Amino acid sequence: MIPEEKQDGPSASEESPRLQASRSVCKGSDALAQTQRGRLQSCRARIHQQISKELRMRTGAENLYRATSNAQVRETVALELSCVNSSLQLLKEELEELNCDVDTEGPGSEGITVPMIPLGLKETKELDWSAALTELISQHFGEDGTSYEAEIRELADLRQAMRTPSRSESGLELLLAYYNQLCLLDARFVTPARSLGLLFHWYDSLTGVPAQQRALAFEKGSVLFNIGALHTQIGARQDRSRTEGAGRAAEAFQRAAGAFRLLRDKFSQAPSPDMSPASLSALEQLMAAQAQECVFEGLSLPAPAAPQDCLAQLRLAQEAAQVAAQYEQVHRTMARPPVQDYVPFAWTTLVHVKAEHFRALAHYHAATALCDGSPAEAELLALEQVFEGPPAPSESPRPLLPQEPEERRKLGKAHLKRAILGQEEALRLHALCRALRRVDLLQAVLGQALRRSLAKYSELDLEDDFFEATEAPDIQPRTRQRPEVRAPSFSRVKVTDIFHRLGPLSVFSVRNRWRLAGPVHVTRGEGGFGFTLRGDSPVLIAAVIPGGHAEAAGLREGDYIVSVNGQPCRWWKHTEVVAQLRAVGAEGVSLQVATLLPGAEPPGTGDHRPALRGLLRSQKECGWEPAVPARASPRPLLGWSRKAQRGPPGGRLCPAPCPRAAAPSPSSSPGRQ
């Protein structure tokens, strides 16, 4: 987290304690110094670089092949292209094996749980902010850009740290802090017609294919993807053999699904496949299914549901069927193009295995409810709804389930048959995938479930039982704890605008054009200085009395006071400026003002473009915390919108931003000075 900074920052030659503290706090984990995860991350980065090199070679060879007409050269280039494509295929297979490593590390647990699918983080190259920001501050803001070297260095250190976050809450806070700073940076330095001029390089999370854009929105979207990916890693390493661990894992997967939904809703035509709408939709469904699986595990843990507890077993049967239904939907999504050609085959297989496994578990718990309990009349009705669902009003009454113990035993035996067949199918699918065969924990879970069903079946299989039961009906999926998809909690990390010394965002951003005037010397007359003030941060000259000293000094209505007797006051409140002016003697006061030029957006009108609904409704909710109350919120959470909206006059298409706060309103009654 970034500590708060003082109202007016240090001089160019000093470094504030805030910056020194920030450097000690915002540190990422050293990927090379860590154990398994560190080696995995460094291997992934190495493969990304090799893939980028091979892609450049292939592009050059293809251009040469199209440009030349020499048959011998074309034959040589074709051979080179074949070698390059083979190398690319091998590199992608190596990267796929890294991505397919199911996360089985984490706290040791007595129970055995099914492995989850975590996502790897997107990698990025180093970025030099200095030249672009220094030039922009000098040209547009009229200040010495070199005096902001400390702030630029702090931003660079924060970005460098977020490249290797730890798999913990502190790593998550680091990514959220950088993301919130990007939103503030976007609000101050970027307009739809003007970018920072920086080229942002990011690698695809799964394929390693490089992508680059000059839009800051691409940087924000990639960081948001990593926030979701880190949530998946945190969720996958929880000890789900305990109720608390299963709850934390479900919460992490809910947040991951929310991050991917946010990207899918607000991004279009993303430059990398992992941020395409189809991929993000599949990832969202996958994380929602994994969250539902954690809910089932949490309910089955206090299993201390005694086998005789019929209703408890029925609820577990429906919960397992719900998990299976969601994994079936994920599998259908992953088995269709374009997702089929993108996600690793091991992921698709594991999702299919889980669908079969949890469907078999549903039949097992239904059989336990039928055979080990003595259901009352109310429980018999619950049994019918588990197998057939609630009847429609227009339907005729359905036949009741068997009430005799022997008939229930036969039906339970039929459900056990389906459970055994489903678990055998899950083991068969597991054996077909080479990557999954290396996951011993998954095989142990499937084998344990099969042995348990076989043992239960042997108890029910009587020697003189010559009558085969009818086909067991399907279990109706239902859950009483459906996990909600939740957006990442951006407000959990309070940040202060690194470049707050430039002034409040309501005025001092690239969306506005202004001229600095002064210092202007104004003396006090019999009626005061001859102007009226209102508003806070910065204080506005609301009116100038004709013929007064202020008019004679060149002050105009609408000017913002930025300096009083050499003291920067862009962040001062109305009362502070008034107190300073009242303390002035006969010698007068020296003021510096900023005059908005035509074409600038009046700070009071705000941005007329629609806000991102339901994401960040206020500055406080987003975690943006200026040193003193400001009058403007930063720009939108994301700079790209699926549907471009009409902006201010001029007819240009603009992305959807967050709402801007109103213009400085009087913090006290306007008074004549």
| E strand spans, 195-282 | 200-203, 210-213
User: Taken in order 410, 415, 416, 422, is the CA torsion positive or negative?
Assistant: positive
Q: Is the predicted pLDDT of residue 76 greater than 60, yes or no?
A: yes
Contact 577, 569 (CB under 8 A): yes
Q: What is the pLDDT of residue 293?
A: 94
pLDDT of residue 521 exceeding 90: no
User: 371 near 412, Cβ under 8 Å?
Assistant: yes
Task: Enter the DSSP assignment of 601.
Answer: P
Average pLDDT over residues 110-133: 83
Indicate whether 237 pLDDT > 70: yes
Predicted TM-score (pTM) above 0.95: no
Contact 624, 175 (CB under 8 A): no
Task: Give the bridge partners for 591, in sequence order.
Answer: 520, 564
d(CA 289, CA 294): 9
Q: What is the mean pLDDT of the chain?
A: 75
Of the pLDDT bands very low, low, confident and very high (cuts 50, 70, 90), residue 667 is: very low
| Pick from 2-16, 154-168, 405-419, 572-586: least confident | 2-16
Question: Would you say 527 and 550 are in contact if contact means Cβ atoms under 8 Å apart?
Answer: no
- How far is Cα 259 from Cα 490, in angstroms, rounded to an integer? 11
Q: Which residue has the higher pLDDT, 2 or 62?
A: 62
Query: Are the CB atoms for 100 and 139 separated by under 8 Å?
Result: no
Nearest to 357 by CA among 285, 283, 293, 291: 293
Q: At what angle do helices 17-25 and 149-162 cross, to 10 degrees?
A: 10
Number of H helices, E strands in the chain: 18, 11
Residue 648 pLDDT > 50? no
Lookup: tokens for 72 = 């011998």
Q: pLDDT class for 364, splitting at 50, 70, 90? A: very high
Q: Classify residue 573 by its DSSP letter.
A: -
Q: How many alpha carbons lie under 13 Å from residue 475 in its C-beta half-sphere?
A: 34
Q: How far apart are CA 167 and CA 420, in angstroms?
A: 38
**Residues 557-570: pLDDT tens digits?**
888 888 888 788 88
Which of 216-225, 290-299, 601-610 is least confident? 601-610
Q: What is the pLDDT of residue 487?
A: 87
Which amino acid, one-letter code, is at 489? S
Question: What's the mean pLDDT in 399-418?
Answer: 75
- What is the 3-state secondary structure of 453-495? HHHHHHHHCCCCCCCCCCCCCCCCCCCCCCCCCCCCCHHHCCE
The C-alpha atoms of residue 297 and residue 286 are separated, in whole angstroms, by 17
**Model pLDDT, residue 98:** 64
Q: CA–CA distance from 596 to each of 26, 143, 185, 507, 559 (Å)?
A: 37, 16, 21, 8, 7
Q: Quick check: helix, strand or coil at residue 542?
A: strand
pLDDT > 70: percent of the chain: 72
Q: What is the pLDDT at residue 252?
A: 94
Q: Which residue has the higher pLDDT, 646 or 486?
A: 486
Mean pLDDT of 354-378: 81
